[in-house]
A and B are shown apart, each in its own frame.
Chain A
Amino acid sequence: MNDRNHLSNVHVTHSVNVIENGIVDIPMLQILDNEGALIADANAPEIDKEKTQKILYTMEYIRLLDERMVAAQRQGRISFYLACTGEEAATTASAAALSDDDMIMSQYREQAALAYRGYSTEQFMNQMFSNRLDPNKGRQMPIHYGDKKLNFMTISSPLGTQIPQASGYAYGQKLQGTDAVTICYFGEGAASEGDFHAGLNMAAVLKCPVIFFCRNNGYAISTPADEQFAGDGIASRGIGYGVKTIRVDGNDALAVYTATQKAREIALAENCPVLIEAMTYRLAAHSTSDDPTGYRSKEEEAKWRERDPINRFKRWVMDKGWFDEQAHEAMLSESRQAILAAVKTAEKVDVCDIDDLVNDVYDTVPWHLQEQITELKAHIKKYPDAYPKTAKGVK
C-alpha cells in the first residue's frame, strides 16, 4: 500500500489567514474586439476559409431557424421553442474545434453545435413536430434533439444531469483508447446543481478527457447571475477541483475556437478534464414560455446587442476577404425557404404508431405493458373520435 500525505501541499501559517475573493484573477481570452477587428497583441487561430465560412453560416442559419420557430410557436404550430440568440458563437465555434468522433452532451441551448455537426433542417423539424420521423418517436418536448450517428447525446430536461454523465462517457472513451473526448455544455444556473460538483470532482479524480463548457449568459430564466453565485463566476470553481480552467469571451468566435482547441488538446494528451467558462448574454427570452421584460431592462439588452457575436465574426471574415455579401444573401434566402418548406412538410407527417407508447421502456415489452397497450387499443377502437391522432392506426 502507498503512504499518502494529504498535508504535503499545505502551507503553514502562524496567524489567522482569511481567504477572500480576488486572490485568483481569472482573465477572459479575447481575440476580436467588439467591432470584429483583430486585437493588436492577439493571435488568430489557424483556421481555413472553408471552416470559417461554415462557422459563420451555421451561426446565421441558427439565428434564422430560431426566429422562424419562435414565430411558429406563436402561431401554435409547435408547442414549445427555445432560442439561443446571442450565444451562437459560443456553441458554434466550440463545436468547430472538435472532431466528429467527440461526443457532445448538451443542455438545450446548443442547437448551433448540432447544426454544425450536420443535423438537417428536416431533422430539426421532425423532432419539433414530434412526428413519426422524429428519432425520439414523439416522446420528448421540442428542442430535445439527439443523434447517435452525429455523436450528439439526446437532450433531457433535468438540469446538470449530463455533467457527471459526461465524465463517465469520457472515462469509457479513455478505457477504449478512442482518441476522442466528450464536451459537456451547461448554463451558469445549472452549475448550481449538485451534479456539477459531482461531475467535475469525479472527472478530475478519475482523469476523464472531458471539456466542461459553461455558457455564462447572465440569467437562469429570471434569476440574474448575482443571485446564482457570489464567487468569481464558474471558472473559479474549476481551480478548486484541480480542473484546468479557461475563461473566454463567449461572443468572440475566434476566442472560443482557440480556447476549445486548446482544451481538447490538453484533455486528450493529459487525460484530464478542462473547464471553459464562456462569458456571454442570453439575448433571447429563456423560452417561448418566458417574457424577460418582467425582470430586465431594454437598455441592458440593447447594450449586449451591440456586441452581437455574429456581426463581430462577420466583420473579421469580411476583412479577410472570405465573405461575399451577395453569395451569403443567396445562401440565407435559400435557408429561409428551406425552413418554411420543412415546417409545412413536417407538420403533415403522422405521429408514431400507438405501440411506440410502450416500446423502448425496456428492450422488449414486458407482460404488464403488453396488457396495458392491449387494453388501450380496445378503448381507442371504441371511442375513435376522442383519439383522432391514433384511431386510424388501431383496427
Chain B
Amino acid sequence: MKKMNLLQAINDALILEMRRNEKVVVFGEDVGHFGGVFRATSHLQEHFGRERCFNTPLTEQGIIGFANGLASQGSYPVAEIQFADYIFPAFDQIVNETAKFRYRSGGQFTCGSLTIRTPYGGGIAGGLYHSQSPEAYFAHTPGMKIVIPRNPYQAKGLLLASIRDDNPVLFMEPKRLYRASVCEVPEEDYTLPLGKADIVTEGSDITLLAWGAQMEVIEKAAQMANDDGVSCDVIDLRSILPWDAECVAQSVRKTGRLLINHEAPMTGGFASEIAATIQDKCFLHLEAPIARVCGLDTPYPLAHEKEYMPDHLKTYEAIKRTLDY
C-alpha cells in the first residue's frame, strides 16, 4: 500500500498496464514529454518511448478517429481528451463509430480495446468549458461503457479494468479530486468490476446515490442526516453504462426512498434514467417520490458556481423533505 492522490493512482495504473501489455499506447494533447496538463501521464514517454506515449495535433475528432483505427487494428489505445468539455468535436467518432463498430460489422471488427480518459466536473472555477459533466449524452449510446471513480483506490482498479475490458470505455475522472483525494492504494495489480455499484455505507431509511466527486457531497449530507437520527444507504454507482440497477433496486426495496445527486443539469441527466427504472422496479416499495438533486438547467456558471452546485446542504434538505413526505 502507498498513499496516492487520484492523479498518482491513474499514472500508476497506466505505467503498470503499459509494462504488462506492450500494445497499450497513450496519446492526446500534451500527454507526451510534458506528462499532461494535469500530469496524469508523467514519465510515460520516458519509460516507454515516443512511439507508445505521444502528443497529437490539437484535434479531438482526430484523436478519437485515430484511436478507433488503432483499436480496430489490435492495439490498446488509451486516448486522452484534455477536458470533457472538449469531447464534443469527437462526438461523431464516439457515437457513430466507436460505439457501433462491433455491431455493424457483425463482430468482425471492434474498438473494444479503446479507453478514452477525460477529466470532468466542476468546483474548480472552470466556468462553462472546464466544468461540464457530459455522461448523460453518452449514456444514450448503446455500445459504450461509462465509468467514473470516486477516489484513488477506485481510479486505479477501475482504469485497469477499463483498459482490459473488451468494450470501448469512456473513463471520466473527477478533476476537483485529482490532488484533493488521497488514500491508500495497493502498488500491485488489481481490478474492480465494471457495471457494479459499490455500497459505501449501509443504512435503512433512505438510499443516497451519486458518482465521482459528488460521492463526497452525499457522504457529508448523510453524516448530517445521521446526526438527526436518519440512517442512509450510500451507494457509489461507479458505472453509468451499463449501470447496476439491481444493487440500487435492492437498496430501495429496503429503504423505500431514493435520492440521486449529480453535477450535470437536471433535464435529461442520468438521474432521470435511474428514477424511471427504479420507479418501475420498486413501485410498491416507494414511500416518497424519488428526489433528484442536480445542477441547474443552465450552462455551468463561473461567479455563481457555489449556488449552481448540488452541494451537501441541498442534498441534506432533500433528504429531510423525502423523509417527511
Q: In the complex, what distance in Å separates the CA atom of A158 from the CA atom of B167? A: 21
Q: In the complex, what distance in Å separates the CA atom of A198 from the CA atom of B68? A: 13
Instruction: Say which residue of A139, A140, A156, A166 sits within 8 Å of B69 (CB atoms).
Output: A166
Instruction: Say which residue of B62, B70, B100, B105 sits within 8 Å of A201 (CB atoms).
Output: B62
Q: Does A273 contact B (CB under 8 A)?
A: no
Q: Does B36 contact A (CB under 8 A)?
A: no
Which residues in chain A, 122-168, are within 8 Å of chain B measured between CB atoms? Answer: 134-137, 139-140, 144, 146-148, 153-154, 156, 158, 161, 163-168
When A165-B68, A205-B57, A361-B143 are in contact, do A175 and B108 touch as well, CB less than 8 Å?
A: no
In the bound complex, residues from chain B placing their C-beta under 8 Å from that of A360 are 102-103, 106-107
Q: Are B69 and A167 in contact (CB under 8 A)?
A: yes
B88 to chain A, nearest CB (A): 12
Which residues in chain A, 338-388, are within 8 Å of chain B measured between CB atoms? Answer: 359-363, 366-369
Q: In the complex, what distance in Å separates the CA atom of A359 from the CA atom of B97? A: 17
Q: Are A156 and B96 in contact (CB under 8 A)?
A: yes
In the bound complex, residues from chain A placing their C-beta under 8 Å from that of B77 are 168
In the bound complex, residues from chain B placing their C-beta under 8 Å from that of A366 are 195, 242
Q: In the complex, what distance in Å separates the CA atom of A1 from the CA atom of B34? A: 10
In the bound complex, residues from chain B placing their C-beta under 8 Å from that of A198 are 57, 59, 61-62, 65-66
When A164-B69, A171-B70, A194-B61 are in contact, do A153 and B103 touch as well, CB less than 8 Å?
A: no
Q: Are A168 and B106 in contact (CB under 8 A)?
A: no
In the bound complex, residues from chain A placing their C-beta under 8 Å from that of B176 are none
Q: Are B109 and A168 in contact (CB under 8 A)?
A: no
Closest Cβ neighbor of A153 among chain B residues: B109
Q: Does B92 contact A (CB under 8 A)?
A: yes
In the bound complex, residues from chain A placing their C-beta under 8 Å from that of B89 are 194
When A194-B89, A366-B195 are in contact, do A154 and B65 touch as well, CB less than 8 Å?
A: no
When A168-B77, A362-B167, A366-B195 are in contact, do A199 and B65 touch as well, CB less than 8 Å?
A: yes
Closest Cβ neighbor of A182 among chain B residues: B69
B109 to chain A, nearest CB (A): 6
Q: Are B143 and A161 in contact (CB under 8 A)?
A: no
Which residues in chain B, 40-74, are within 8 Å of chain A measured between CB atoms? Answer: 51-52, 54, 56-57, 59, 61-62, 64-74
Q: Does B81 contact A (CB under 8 A)?
A: no
Q: Does A393 contact B (CB under 8 A)?
A: no
In the bound complex, residues from chain B placing their C-beta under 8 Å from that of A176 are 74-75
Q: In the complex, what distance in Å separates the CA atom of A191 from the CA atom of B300? A: 35
Q: Does B112 contact A (CB under 8 A)?
A: yes
Q: Does A195 contact B (CB under 8 A)?
A: yes
A80 to chain B, nearest CB (A): 15
In the bound complex, residues from chain A placing their C-beta under 8 Å from that of B246 are 367
Contact with B along A186-200 (1 / 0, CB 8 A): 000000001101110
Q: Are B109 and A146 in contact (CB under 8 A)?
A: yes
Q: Are B242 and A201 in contact (CB under 8 A)?
A: no
In the bound complex, residues from chain B placing their C-beta under 8 Å from that of A363 are 102, 110, 112, 166-167
Q: Does B245 contact A (CB under 8 A)?
A: yes
B92 to chain A, nearest CB (A): 6
What's the count of A-B pairs with C-beta under 8 Å? 154
In the bound complex, residues from chain A placing their C-beta under 8 Å from that of B65 are 161, 163-165, 167-168, 195, 198-199
Q: Are B66 and A168 in contact (CB under 8 A)?
A: yes
Q: Does A37 contact B (CB under 8 A)?
A: no
Q: Are B69 and A361 in contact (CB under 8 A)?
A: no
Q: Are A202 and B142 in contact (CB under 8 A)?
A: no
B54 to chain A, nearest CB (A): 7
Q: Does B151 contact A (CB under 8 A)?
A: no
Q: Are B96 and A199 in contact (CB under 8 A)?
A: no
Q: Are B108 and A161 in contact (CB under 8 A)?
A: no
Q: Are A148 and B68 in contact (CB under 8 A)?
A: no
Instruction: Say which residue of B72, B102, B108, B242 sits within 8 Å of A169 (CB atoms).
Output: B72
Q: In the complex, what distance in Å separates the CA atom of A137 from the CA atom of B64? A: 26
Instruction: Say which residue of A148, A154, A158, A367 sits within 8 Å of B245 (CB atoms).
Output: A367
Q: Are B68 and A158 in contact (CB under 8 A)?
A: no
In the bound complex, residues from chain A placing their C-beta under 8 Å from that of B104 are 136, 139-140, 144, 154, 156
In the bound complex, residues from chain A placing their C-beta under 8 Å from that of B100 are 156
Interface centre among A134, A147, A360 (most CB of B within 10 A): A360
In the bound complex, residues from chain A placing their C-beta under 8 Å from that of B92 are 158, 161
Q: Are B242 and A156 in contact (CB under 8 A)?
A: no
Q: Are A361 and B61 in contact (CB under 8 A)?
A: no
Q: Does B222 contact A (CB under 8 A)?
A: no
Instruction: Say which residue of A165, A167, A206, A369 sits within 8 Å of B72 (CB atoms).
Output: A165
Contact with A along B282-299 (1 / 0, CB 8 A): 000000000000000000
Q: In the complex, what distance in Å separates the CA atom of A161 from the CA atom of B110? A: 15
Interface centre among B67, B72, B142, B145 (most CB of A within 10 A): B72
Q: Does B33 contact A (CB under 8 A)?
A: yes
B23 to chain A, nearest CB (A): 8
In the bound complex, residues from chain A placing their C-beta under 8 Å from that of B72 are 153, 165, 168-169
In the bound complex, residues from chain A placing their C-beta under 8 Å from that of B145 are 362
When A136-B104, A147-B108 are in contact, do A156 and B97 touch as well, CB less than 8 Å?
A: yes
A171 to chain B, nearest CB (A): 6
In the bound complex, residues from chain A placing their C-beta under 8 Å from that of B25 are 175
Q: In the complex, what distance in Å separates the CA atom of A197 from the CA atom of B54? A: 19
Contact with B along A201-230 (1 / 0, CB 8 A): 110011000000000000000000000000
Task: Give A contacts to B, CB under 8 Å.
Answer: 1, 103, 105, 134-137, 139-140, 144, 146-148, 153-154, 156, 158, 161, 163-173, 175-176, 182, 194-195, 197-199, 201-202, 205-206, 359-363, 366-369
What are 16 A-to-B residue pairs whose CB atoms are below 8 Å? Answer: A134-B106, A146-B105, A146-B109, A154-B101, A165-B68, A168-B70, A168-B72, A168-B77, A171-B66, A176-B75, A198-B65, A199-B62, A202-B62, A360-B106, A362-B167, A368-B245
18 further A-B pairs in the complex, CB-CB below 8 A; given A148-B108, A167-B62, A169-B70: A1-B33, A136-B106, A144-B104, A146-B108, A154-B105, A158-B92, A163-B65, A164-B65, A164-B93, A168-B70, A169-B72, A195-B62, A198-B62, A202-B57, A202-B59, A362-B145, A363-B167, A367-B245
Task: Give B contacts to A, CB under 8 Å.
Answer: 25, 33, 51-52, 54, 56-57, 59, 61-62, 64-75, 77, 89, 92-93, 96-97, 100-110, 112, 142-143, 145, 166-167, 195, 242, 245-246
